Amino acid sequence: MEKSKQIQIGLLGVIGLLVVVSLFGGFSGLFGGGNDVDARADARTSLAPSGNAAVTGNTPAPAASTAAATKPAVPAVPAGPTTSVSFEELEYDYGVIDEGEKARHTYKFTNTGKEPLIISNAKGSCGCTVPSWPKEPIPPGATGQIDVEFNSKGKKGKQSKRVTITANTDPGQTFLTIKGEVKGAPGADAGGVKPQAITPKSPSK
């Protein structure tokens, strides 16, 4: 009997010890274990790449294209209703002129639409071709003219120059052509230099 009591007391002691150890382990998990989990979570967070890094990084933005900057400006077509225009001729051939002469021609037109014709710009394809045009609106049914002057100075051979008319028409641009041939100055070679006459020397005595 005494031995069985001792065995029971020993088992109870062991069980009590296990209970105490398990309770202390649970308390440790409640008070200390959480900090370790939080610390590990903080470590992972600090090592993970920030979502804002890709947005606020120092990666340079792609350079803007310079194609638009180099593109030549096109004169704006006047706003408002459009009309139509009819030219008596779109091309004029002045024939053959000598270098340095000026060829002039008048292109006549009629406003064949139902709205006033407004010419906003007229521009030659080079500085040697200069147009002049009416700046006031042309009423429907009325006529007008555009004078074009071509300066052949420094030009040789066949020439073809274009004048671009911008107005409230559809399409917004009309093209006029003035062409011909320019002969070089008399006595000038292909380089434009007049050859000098060579006088033979008299034989020495």
Q: Assess if residue 49 is contained within a domain.
A: no
Q: Are 98 and 156 within one domain?
A: yes
Q: Are 93 and 32 within one domain?
A: no
Q: Are 93 and 164 within one domain?
A: yes
Total number of domains constituting the chain: 2
Cβ atoms of 164 and 122 closer than 8 Å:
yes
Q: Assess if residue 70 is contained within a domain.
A: no
Q: Are 90 and 26 within one domain?
A: no
Q: Assess if residue 168 is contained within a domain.
A: yes
Q: Are 92 and 178 within one domain?
A: yes
Q: Assess if residue 123 is contained within a domain.
A: yes
Residue 109's CATH number: 2.60.40.10
pTM > 0.75: yes or no? no
| pLDDT computed for residue 183 by the predictor | 95
Full pLDDT tens readout for the chain, 205 residues: 555 666 777 677 777 777 666 666 554 544 444 444 444 445 454 444 444 444 444 545 454 444 444 555 666 777 779 999 999 999 999 999 999 999 999 999 999 999 999 999 999 999 999 999 999 999 999 999 999 999 999 999 999 999 999 999 999 999 999 999 999 876 655 444 555 556 656 665 5
Q: Assess if residue 138 is contained within a domain.
A: yes
| pLDDT computed for residue 39 by the predictor | 44
Q: Assess if residue 77 is contained within a domain.
A: no
Domain that holds residue 176: 85-183
Q: Assess if residue 167 is contained within a domain.
A: yes
Q: Assess if residue 41 is contained within a domain.
A: no
